[in-house]
């Protein structure tokens, strides 16, 4: 491993930040990451969320990989959890991930084109 000095800078900057990221607070994004999800393209979707959240410095949003959500034929599946509300998105690609961030997480409006009801009733 090289350039560990850069890592120390990142650590110092993170320690200066007053905001504490608590898992229970804010919005959680879960990405299904079992065999079905991975082969349908879940990894670049998760990557997209992480990159956008970092580059745009979006607060109070955590992204977590999870196991099989149970609807393998309509993977990649992404779930957005806000308090007691759970929204399940299906067939998510990088473009849909971008829309979920812009329209749902930041805009407060569910992206209706990809909610699970479109695929399963």
Under the rule (CB under 8 A), what is the footprint of another protein? 1-4, 6-8, 10-11, 13-15, 21, 33-35, 38-39, 43-44, 46-47, 50-51, 53-54, 62-65, 67-68, 70, 72
Name the token pair of 43: 């990894």
> How far apart (Å, rounded) are the C-alpha atoms in residues 1 and 95?
33
Residues listed for the chain? 121
**Closer residue to another protein in complex, CB, 2/112:** 2
- Beta carbon of residue 51, minimum distance to another protein (angstroms, whole number): 8
**Closer residue to another protein in complex, CB, 7/113:** 7
- Beta carbon of residue 61, minimum distance to another protein (angstroms, whole number): 10
- Beta carbon of residue 9, minimum distance to another protein (angstroms, whole number): 9
Q: Which residues contact 109 (CB under 8 A, 6 or more apart)?
A: 103
φ, ψ at 51 (rounded to 5°): -65, -45
Sign of CA dihedral 50, 19, 88, 118: negative
**Closer residue to another protein in complex, CB, 53/111:** 53
């Amino acid at each position: 491993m090289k350039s560990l000095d850069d890592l120390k800078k990142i650590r110092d900057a993170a320690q200066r930040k007053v905001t504490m990221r608590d898992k229970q607070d804010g919005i959680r994004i879960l990405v299904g990451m079992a065999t079905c999800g991975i082969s349908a393209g879940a990894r670049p979707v998760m990557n997209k969320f992480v990159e956008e959240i970092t580059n745009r410095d979006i607060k109070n949003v955590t992204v977590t990989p999870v196991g099989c959500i149970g609807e393998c034929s309509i993977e990649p599946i992404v779930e957005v959890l806000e308090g007691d509300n759970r929204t399940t998105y299906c067939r998510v690609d990088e473009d849909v991930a971008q829309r979920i961030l812009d329209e749902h997480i930041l805009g407060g409006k569910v992206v209706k084109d990809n909610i699970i009801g479109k695929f399963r009733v």
